[in-house]
Amino acid sequence: MKRFKIFCLLLLFSSTLLAQKVRISNGTLIKQFPENSYYELDFGDRDEQGRICCNYGVITGYIRALGPDSIGVLLDSYTNYELPDSMPVRQAIVFKTPSRYQTFAKTDLLSLQRFKNAKQRKRKENIQTLGGIIMFAGLVTLTNHLIVDEPANRNVLLIAGGIQVGVGIALVSIGRSKRYRFKGQKQNWAVVN
């Protein structure tokens, strides 16, 4: 009985800790991502011009399996966007624990972003938001430069506004992660098993 319990525990751990290395290629370059990386995947359809049409989904989680035609993801969140002609609709499902396993077709994959973990993704989002706020504040300061009458104060506002815009642009660029596009580009990436 003791061996059976140990076997069940090992089986449980092996199924939850299983990870998959992901390799992508664009024809000339091959990138390999380490195991247990956190991904943001965009799935959906594109029209003839390469624009997203109809509906698409944004999935975050860990890739656990790569088949010949499918990708198995342990979902952390799933957001579905429907884009009818009149009004876009957004439905978000966030799981408290990444426990939902789902497979998706490789042909529907639009783009992929890799993060070390969920905390890094959230940190990068927060840095981008902070950079946007600082950039907006810098633009307001530069606008105030036009209103002030004294030349000395104008120069101070101009310098302060320029610094704020520069810091905002730097933070937005730091918060961005490389996005690998699988459709709609001249040189598309593809998942390699």
Which tens digits make up the pLDDT trace of 113-154? 999 988 999 999 999 999 999 999 999 999 998 888 888 888
Q: Report whether pLDDT(107) > 70.
A: yes
- Give the helix ranges, DSSP H, for 45-183: 118-147, 151-174
Q: Report whether pLDDT(94) > 80.
A: no
Q: Report whether pLDDT(50) > 60.
A: no
Predicted local confidence at residue 84, as pLDDT: 65
Cβ–Cβ < 8 Å for 53, 45? yes
Predicted local confidence at residue 168, as pLDDT: 95
Find tokens 């890739």 and name the residue.
63
pLDDT greater at residue 101 or residue 46: 101
- Average pLDDT over all residues of the chain: 82
Question: Considering the chain, what percentage of its residues have pLDDT values greater than 70?
Answer: 78
What confidence tier does 90 reach under pLDDT thresholds 50, 70, 90? low
Non-local (6+) Cβ contacts of 4 within 8 A are none
Which pTM value belongs to this model?
0.73
Query: Which whole number is the average pLDDT over 65-77?
Result: 87
Q: How many CB atoms lie within 10 A of CB 63?
A: 24
Cβ–Cβ < 8 Å for 114, 39? yes
Query: Which whole number is the average pLDDT over 34-54?
Result: 75
Q: Report whether pLDDT(95) > 80.
A: no
pLDDT greater at residue 76 or residue 8: 76
Residue among 54, 31, 26, 59 nearest 43 (CA): 59
How big is the chain by its Cα radius of gyration, in Å?
23
Amino acid at 19: A
pLDDT greater at residue 156 or residue 12: 156
Phi, psi of 83 (to 5 degrees): -120, 75
d(CA 85, CA 92): 20
Predicted local confidence at residue 149, as pLDDT: 81
Task: Encode 163-175: b = buried (16+ Cβ within 10 Å), e = exposed.
Answer: ebbebbeebbeeb
